[in-house]
Structure 1
Amino acid sequence: MDSMYVHIPFCNRICTYCDFNKVLIKNQPVDDYITALITELKSYGEQTLKTIYVGGGTPTALTVTQLDRLLSFITAQFTVTDEFTFEANPDELTTEKLDVLNNYGVNRVSLGVQTFNNDLLKVLGRTHNFDDIFKSINHLEKIGLTNYSLDLMYNLPGETFDDIDMSLKYVSELKPKHISWYSLIIEPHTVFYNKINQGKMSIAGSLEEGEKYDKVIAGLDNLGYPQYEISNFAVSAYESMHNKTYWLNEPYIGAGAGSHGYTGDFRYYNIKPVNHYINNMNEHGTVVKEKLQLTDNDKFEEEMFLGLRLNKGVSEARFKEKYGLPVDAVYGDVLKNLTARKLLKRQGGYIALTEAGRMIGNDVFVEFLL
């Protein structure tokens, strides 16, 4: 395996829209968690990897000492040849924490900006404000860590098209290397989900959401950030290598509470609750909750679902190399139908979504269920 994801499930505040595996850091056994996580990482042995991605939760919720302890182990155990990404909140990215990241070879930061509108940041339950965004980026640039990505969201409650214009304006000023810009998804068990069910909040419908998406794509393209995946945009040579591991359906290690991993033949899922994760590691030496053996049909489906997220699409030659048969042997009728409806295109040995297909991507993906 060439890639590894490491999960830090702690946050200083729980955002109103987030359904990732996370807990408030106050009174949590953070040091015990790091000990258990290090034990899990040891089980993979010393390896050379192309990418490591540390996400959360909020990894920068850890103290300087805790970050130093975790990263000193990771860099002693694993050699990263290409991309070492760390997720960060703007208000938590202090010069001291940045020095730790820099000292241990982190060469890419994914900054959770979400929006440049202070009122919308409050609605989202974020702990940072507009000034924190620029402060953190100033810190990054001062130490020469200029490979950073901005995580943004659109279709937020109360958001206008002017807010998207404002975000595009600041992107043009800041000139990050990469942008992830996702539509808000209302997930069960979140504050937003409850408020919408209670009639206390609403978001724009699919038509306006689509118009905002078009505005994001066109605006970023004009700024020199071509789209390479449904929600991701980058200047040349700065596409996320780690995330492309997922979209290309390549194996990866998943470490930490609630992490998922993929071997090529099965997917595995780690225990989610922090205390259960720690106790299982201490008592049983394992934190894997479930392993799912993949059938051939599972593999075909995932190859298409994931690969079609990329603008380039699914490589027909790669499909045949991985599975020993041409994609038409599995999906011939589906491909004919979707291309006739102008939702898919086939060119240069790739199968990709058209612009119309990208707007209803999930509906297209369903067609590949076997």
Structure 2
Amino acid sequence: MKIPSAYIHIPFCQQICHYCDFTKFFYNERLADEYMEALENEIHTYIPGEKAQVRTIFVGGGTPTAVNHSQLKKLLQMIDDHFDLASCEEYTFEANPGDLDLEKVRLLKNYGVNRISLGVQVFDDEMLEKIGRVHKVKDVYTNIDRLLQVGLSNISIDLMYALPGQTVEDFEKTIDEAMQFGLPHYSSYSLQIEPKTVFYQRYKKGTLVKAPEEDDAQMYELLQRKLSAAGAVQYEISNFAKPGFESKHNLTYWNNEYYYGIGAGAHGYLPGKRTINLRPLPAYVKKATSDGIPILHEEPIGIKEEMEEQMFLGLRKTEGVLTDQFYRKYGQTIVDVFGHALNTLKERSLIEENSGYIRMTPKGRMLGNEVFQEFLLDD
């Protein structure tokens, strides 16, 4: 069966951000060389023969652009060797402002990358330092200019809100400055304090105070209102785009479609199973180098799990879940399977049904996790 997408994880960073719980390690040239060899062996295990035809490729991290020029070229070449880039509609690289010199930008462009996701977070140098970022606001302007110079105009930027000490007014300034670029895509996320992060340790010690819930909600409503007024359509809980510039790769996830998960700590979704790779760098490198199968865990996915995921992933999208598509895929209606959940959520005005779609209401989007858990079926 054809796998339409590939996620490739590069775990290296020049600095570890205080909030990040993704698989990441301080950049080391020797370790990065070893990692590239192991990564190529894993890719070759999945795709041993002719190039795979995929619709999207997303290279994330960590920070893929934290590696040096020769390592970046090796990475781009191995992707080109194993994937048919001519048939790839969207090829995204994550990058941090400040990492992209002109040589790296040209390499990305020359190897067919056509979308860049920049981790900006806030337009406030003091706050950037507080959350462990090493770039400055001026680096955002410099890097966007470089991308535009070579014709890489499909740029998305990530923003964060509900940060410690951040006011609603602070976030409004960040939104306003971000919108001045007129970019085709914006993503924005509320801070989640995750275990094994600097912020989590501070929170447990009582030295970090979470933003009040009312501020969090106010910032989210402000984000929606301002981006909508600027012509960016909210197509998912945290994502906004000009029409035609929605992230095709992320829609793979929300449409519950298959994708390769390659690299340390990467998650994949293949027919009948979800996979999680080894996270520790030495363990990943050793296993991927030896047999190309650095999988830590495989979770079987049956029809029950598929239907659950179809709902709580699909409901993240503003358009929601298409009822006819659900029936074609599973031979049962959504009402047959989730009738009780639908009634409960409709009574609370958290979901609505319209034009063949079941979607969350604005109130439901504010309480997304409560909505999603209603679609967990009993064993």
TM-score normalised by L of structure 1: 0.98
Shift of 1:147: 0.3
Task: Indicate the larger mover: 243-252 or 319-328.
Answer: 319-328
Taking only aligned residues, the RMSD between alpha carbons, in angstroms, comes to 1.1
Pick from 49, 54, 59 the counterpart of residue 49 of structure 1.
54
Alignment partners' CA distance in 2, 1:32 and 1:204:
41
Shift of 1:296: 2.1
Pick from 360, 372, 378 the counterpart of residue 353 of structure 1.
360
Alignment of 1:103-142 (within 5 A): 103-142=110-149
Alignment partners' CA distance in 1, 2:290 and 2:187:
40
Pick from 78, 83, 92 the counterpart of residue 90 of structure 2.
83
Shift of 1:264: 3.6
Superimposed CA distance per residue, residues 27-84 of structure 1 (whole angstroms, 9 cap, x where no aligned partner): 6511111011011111222211110000000101111100101101211221132000
Shift of 1:176: 1.0
- Residue type of the partner of 1:184? L
Give secondary structure in 2 for the equivalent of 1:151. Answer: strand
Equivalent residue, structure 2, for 1:71: 76
1:62 aligns to 2:67 (yes or no): yes
Give secondary structure in 1 for the equivalent of 2:251. Answer: helix
- Residue type of the partner of 1:55? G
Task: Indicate the larger mover: 100-109 or 192-201.
Answer: 192-201
Task: Indicate the larger mover: 203-212 or 307-316.
Answer: 203-212
Give secondary structure in 2 for the equivalent of 1:174. Answer: coil
Equivalent residue, structure 2, for 1:30: 32
Equivalent residue, structure 2, for 1:185: 192
Alignment of 1:294-333 (within 5 A): 294-333=301-340
Alignment partners' CA distance in 1, 2:70 and 2:44:
20
**Contact 1:8–1:56 (CA under 8 A) maintained in structure 2:** yes
Task: Indicate the larger mover: 55-64 or 26-35.
Answer: 26-35
- Residue type of the partner of 1:85? T
Shift of 1:340: 2.2
- Residue type of the partner of 2:18? T
TM-score normalised by L of structure 2: 0.96
Superimposed CA distance per residue, residues 239-294 of structure 1 (whole angstroms, 9 cap, x where no aligned partner): 00000000010000010011111014210111111111111123333211211111
1:155 aligns to 2:157 (yes or no): no
Superimposed CA distance per residue, residues 182-237 of structure 1 (whole angstroms, 9 cap, x where no aligned partner): 00000011111111111111121222211111011101111111211000000110
**Contact 2:37–2:289 (CA under 8 A) maintained in structure 1:** no
Equivalent residue, structure 2, for 1:2: 4
Alignment partners' CA distance in 2, 1:282 and 1:133:
37
**Contact 1:250–1:264 (CA under 8 A) maintained in structure 2:** no
Number of residue pairs the alignment of both structures matches: 370
Shift of 1:127: 1.0
1:363 aligns to 2:365 (yes or no): no
Equivalent residue, structure 1, for 2:346: 339
- Residue type of the partner of 1:50? R
**Contact 1:52–1:85 (CA under 8 A) maintained in structure 2:** yes
Pick from 203, 208, 219 the counterpart of residue 201 of structure 1.
208
Pick from 229, 240, 244 the counterpart of residue 237 of structure 1.
244
**Contact 2:8–2:60 (CA under 8 A) maintained in structure 1:** yes
Alignment partners' CA distance in 2, 1:289 and 1:198:
32
Alignment partners' CA distance in 1, 2:70 and 2:294:
25
Alignment partners' CA distance in 2, 1:213 and 1:282:
44
- Residue type of the partner of 1:253? Y
Task: Indicate the larger mover: 256-265 or 142-151.
Answer: 256-265
Pick from 288, 300, 308 the counterpart of residue 293 of structure 1.
300
Give secondary structure in 2 for the equivalent of 1:13. Answer: coil
Equivalent residue, structure 1, for 2:100: 93
Superimposed CA distance per residue, residues 144-185 of structure 1 (whole angstroms, 9 cap, x where no aligned partner): 111000010000111112222212222232111100000000
Alignment of 1:239-258 (within 5 A): 239-258=246-265
Task: Indicate the larger mover: 317-326 or 94-103.
Answer: 317-326
- Residue type of the partner of 2:110? N
- Residue type of the partner of 2:296? K
Pick from 251, 262, 268 the counterpart of residue 261 of structure 1.
268
Superimposed CA distance per residue, residues 339-358 of structure 1 (whole angstroms, 9 cap, x where no aligned partner): 12211000111110001111
- Residue type of the partner of 1:244? L
Give secondary structure in 2 for the equivalent of 1:352. Answer: strand
Alignment partners' CA distance in 2, 1:240 and 1:284:
33
Alignment partners' CA distance in 2, 1:308 and 1:110:
23
Alignment partners' CA distance in 2, 1:50 and 1:188:
34
Give secondary structure in 1 for the equivalent of 2:9. Answer: strand
- Residue type of the partner of 1:284? D
Alignment partners' CA distance in 1, 2:229 and 2:27:
41
Equivalent residue, structure 2, for 1:14: 16
**Contact 1:155–1:183 (CA under 8 A) maintained in structure 2:** yes
Q: Which runs of 5+ in 1 are unaligned?
A: none
Alignment partners' CA distance in 2, 1:365 and 1:28:
43
Task: Indicate the larger mover: 130-139 or 320-329.
Answer: 320-329
Superimposed CA distance per residue, residues 291-332 of structure 1 (whole angstroms, 9 cap, x where no aligned partner): 111132211111111000000001111111111111111001
Identity across matched positions, percent: 44
